[in-house]
Amino acid sequence: MLTTVTRALVLEPHPDDLVIGCAGLLQRLVDQGAEVHSLLLSEVPATYSKIYDDSGAYQEYAGDVRMREVAAADQILGLDGRTIAFGSEWHHRLDALPAADLIGAIEECVSNTGADLVLVPARSFNQDHRAVFDAFQAVMRPHFYKGMALAYETTMERDFEPNVVVPLTAEQVERKLEACGVFVTQLGSAEHLFSLDTIELAARYRGRLAYATAAEAFQLLRGIYA
C-alpha cells in the first residue's frame, strides 16, 4: 500500500509533531522517491514557554529559534516543501478558528501538493490536534480527496488504537532521533513526553506490535489498494 505513494502531505498543528509521529515513515517514502510536504497550521509566537524538567516551572524561548529548528529537521528528513497556514496568533488556538477556514487551508494544500497520502495527528488531549483531525474528516470526503490517510501518534494519546505498523531500521531510528534532537526548545527531561528517551522507548514499544526492533504506529483512516 505505502509503496505506491508518490506524494505525501503531513498536517502539523505545531512544529515537532511531524518528527515525533512519522519521521521514520517519511524516510521510507523519501527513499522510494516520493515527494514529502508539510502543512504547518500555525507559526510559533515570538516568545513562548515550555516545561523542561520535573520542577514544573515554565521557561521562555524565542519562537524564531523554534522555526529554525523546523528547517533543520526538514533538511535531515529530506522534505520537499513546507507551507504555513496561519499566523502565530492561532498557535494553540486552532480550535477557535472557524471550521471553514481550517478546512479550506487543508483543502488548498491537498490540492496544491497533489497528495495521495495525508498524515494527520490522531485525536488527543491537545485541542489543536482535535481541531485538525476533525477538519480533515471534511477534507477526506471521497469526491474531493481520493487518496490514503493515516493518523499518527504524538504524545501517547490515551485512546490511540493503531492498526498499521511500519517497522524501522536502526538507521531510520537514529535519523528520527537526530531530527527530534534539533528541537532544543522542546526537549524535556527523560520523563517528558518529548525527550529522546521517550521517543526511542515509544519506537521500541511499537516495534513489538510487528515483532520488530522498532516501529511507528498509525491508525488507517482510508486505504487505497491500486
pLDDT tens-place string over residues 46-55: 888 887 887 7
Q: How many structural domains are present in the chain?
A: 1
Across the strands, what pairs with 40? 12, 84
Does residue 157 have a pLDDT over 90? Answer: no
Terminal alpha carbon distance of the chain: 8
Expressed as residue numbers, the domain containing 186 is 2-222
Query: What per-residue confidence (pLDDT) applies to 213?
Result: 96
pLDDT-based confidence at 226, cuts 50/70/90? low
Element of type H or E holding 108: helix 99-113
CATH of the domain at 111: 3.40.50.10320
Q: For residue 166, what is its C-alpha cell?
A: 511500519
Lowest mean pLDDT among 52-66, 107-121, 159-173: 52-66
Whole-model pTM?
A: 0.95
Query: What per-residue confidence (pLDDT) applies to 7?
Result: 98
Query: Is the C-alpha dihedral spanning 211, 124, 170, 167 positive or negative?
Result: positive
Tallying the residues shown for the chain, one arrives at: 226
Closest C-alpha to 216, from 10, 7, 50 = 10
Contacts of 204 (CB under 8 A, 6+ apart): 213, 214
| Contact status, residue 186 vs residue 179, Cβ threshold 8 Å | no
